[in-house]
Structure 1
Amino acid sequence: MSEDYAQTRGLLTLWTPGDVQVQLSEHLRKMRKDRKLSRRKLAEMSGVPEPTIKRFETTGQISLRQFLLLWGRLDQLDDLRRFLMEEKPKAPKSLLDFFEKEEKG
């Protein structure tokens, strides 16, 4: 992850946006295979072209709209929305913040 990205977001993380893209594509590919769906069948069900599904599964590249169309066919969009709406614990901005909280708590 670039230092600029982490600093502008005020986050301490080891994950890059690319890492998350790959994880999302692997997760959806696993769900597709668990349901024994071919890319062609998923394309028919979702309206996302088969070559786009293949590109997403191999590179992680896809538009947000197409990602949501696939997610909606393989999982529940409501689950994704609920995850986005739930309050998350605040991450420490630095290791110093983390250790200071540990000492107090």
Structure 2
Amino acid sequence: MPLLYNFDIDTISDIQKILAQNLQKRRLEKGFSRNTLSEISGIPAPTIAKFEQKFVISLTSYIALAKALGYTKEIKELLSQPLYDTMEELEMINKNKERKRGSRNETGK
């Protein structure tokens, strides 16, 4: 299988910051304080504050917050469609669509 390179210049930290900023915007648009969002989501207000300020949160907590803000559909759609840049990648995706796990031969055994 060919080695695929990702030339995306965003760092993981950049993306975490964007996710935190977007969540904070959606919270404020709804007029929710951190305490209100905490009550709705079950996620402690200090966890929400830490995410908005330091951009760190567990996936479970992030999903709970997104769900509380009404973004269940968008979360479920994340990574739902394959991305490809070339016809070769699309062919490989279509070939591997039914694959459930890695091949035992990938380790060279």
TM-score w.r.t. length of structure 1: 0.73
For the residues of structure 2 that align with 1:83 and 1:14, how far apart are their CA atoms? 20
Say whether residues 1:74 and 2:69 are aligned partners: yes
More moved, 77-86 vs 16-25: 77-86
Q: Where do 5+ consecutive residues of structure 2 fail to align?
A: 87-109
Shift of 1:74: 1.2
Higher Rg: 2
Q: What secondary structure, in the 3-state scheme, does the structure 2 residue paired with 1:84 have?
A: coil
Q: What secondary structure, in the 3-state scheme, does the structure 1 residue paired with 2:17 have?
A: helix
Shift of 1:9: 6.7
Q: Which has the higher contact order (CA 8 A, sep 6+)?
A: 1
Shift of 1:79: 1.9
Q: Where do 5+ consecutive residues of structure 1 fail to align?
A: 1-7, 92-105
Deviation digits for residues 49-71 of structure 1 (CA, Å, limit 9, x no counterpart): 00000000001100110000001
Percent of counterpart pairs with the same letter?
30
Match of 1:58 among 53, 62, 66: 53
Q: CA RMSD in A?
A: 1.8
- Equivalent residue number for residue 41 of structure 2: 46
- Counterparts of 1:83-94 in structure 2 under 5 Å? 83-90=78-85
Higher helix share: 1
Aligned amino acid, residue 57 of structure 1: E
